[in-house]
Amino acid sequence: MTRYVAKERIGHVVSLVLDAPERRNSLSFDLLHELSKALTEDLEGATGIVISGSGGSFSAGADFRDLTGTSRDIDFDNAVERVAEAILSSRIPVVAALEGPCMGAGAHLALACDLRIAGDGSFLQIPAVRLGLLYSPRAIAWLADTFPRDSVRRLLLLGERFDAADALVAGLFSRVVPTGTALDRATQALATLSPDHLDALASTCELLNTLDSNQYNEATWQQRRKDLLDSPARAQAIRQAKARHS
């Protein structure tokens, strides 16, 4: 049983809800531990994962009750990075459904997701420099490799608050939807994926993650593609497509 992350199956989609609304879903060690487990356990047959927050917030960032204001807080950075790595290495798509504030470490986790579907009233901010902090160097290196240069500098150097429209233009949000509909829209998007094609889905996720980490090997992936082309699932999909178009 979990206290801070509500996990539910909606068809073939796994919904993970950060559930500490009294603290705007701030990230404690306990919440991060639960989220890491939820991202890696009991996912058989799932076609995607949606992460959202309860109470009209995605996350206000770090739970300051778990911070010391000393170098021991590197342990917190490491806990956040373990969750980010679980998202980045997922073999099915992970989508963040954002409403309200998405700040600090919460923004880091949202940006690690494959897509961010954001309610119109949401915003994203990493105000580390305003708190006298150098954000995790590994996280900064990853952000700089992944998102537009100017957007990352506005986010990290200025601690700028990006509202939904600004974040969309800056390449930080994937889609903006009416306030209050982000979770439904994200779930609907993933529900279009069929569990019959999990091998192809997992391979595509893995290839995209490999490209992000600059570890692409042409021969390996050409062989993976050939194996999928010769698979029973592929043959069945083609038979069904021919029947629909005959």
180 φ/ψ sector (left φ>0, alpha ψ -120 to 50, else beta): left
Q: How many domains does the chain have?
A: 2
The reply to whether 71 and 139 lie within a common domain is yes
pLDDT value, residue 67: 85
Same structural domain, 177 and 207: no
- The candidate with the shortest Cα–Cα distance to 222, out of 239, 235, 203, is 203
My answer on whether 156 and 50 are in the same domain is yes
Each residue of 168-201: b (16+ CB within 10 Å) or e? bebebbbebbeeeebbebbbebbeebeeebbbbb
Domain of residue 41 covers: 5-191
Is residue 168 domain-shared with residue 81, that is, in the same domain? yes
186 and 204 in a single domain? The answer is no
Q: Tell me, what's the pLDDT at 180?
A: 97
All residue ranges of the chain with pLDDT < 70 are: 1
pLDDT of residue 235: 80
Residues 30 and 95 occupy one common structural domain? yes
Answer whether 84's CB lies under 8 Å from 109's CB: yes
The whole-angstrom separation of Cα 29 and Cα 39 is 15
Does 137 share its domain with 219? no
Same domain, 94 and 136: yes
| Domain's final residue, options 191, 206, 233 | 191
Q: What is the pLDDT of residue 1?
A: 52
The domain boundary, picked from 171, 191, 211, lies at 191
pLDDT single digits (tens) 2-24: 799 999 999 999 999 999 999 99
> Where does a domain end: 147, 172, 191?
191
CA dihedral 145, 151, 153, 154 (to 10 degrees): -160
The DSSP call for residue 113 is S
Distance CA 180, CA 178 (A): 6
User: Quick one: 186 and 206 in the same domain?
Assistant: no
Q: What tens digit of pLDDT does each residue of 162-184 get?
A: 999 999 999 999 999 999 999 99
Say yes or no: 205 and 138 in one domain.
no
Co-location of 109 and 219 in the same domain: no
Q: Are residues 117 and 201 in the same domain?
A: no
Q: Give SS3 for 233.
A: helix
Residue 183's domain is classified under what CATH number?
A: 3.90.226.10
Of 92, 129, 99, the residue nearest 114 (C-alpha) = 92
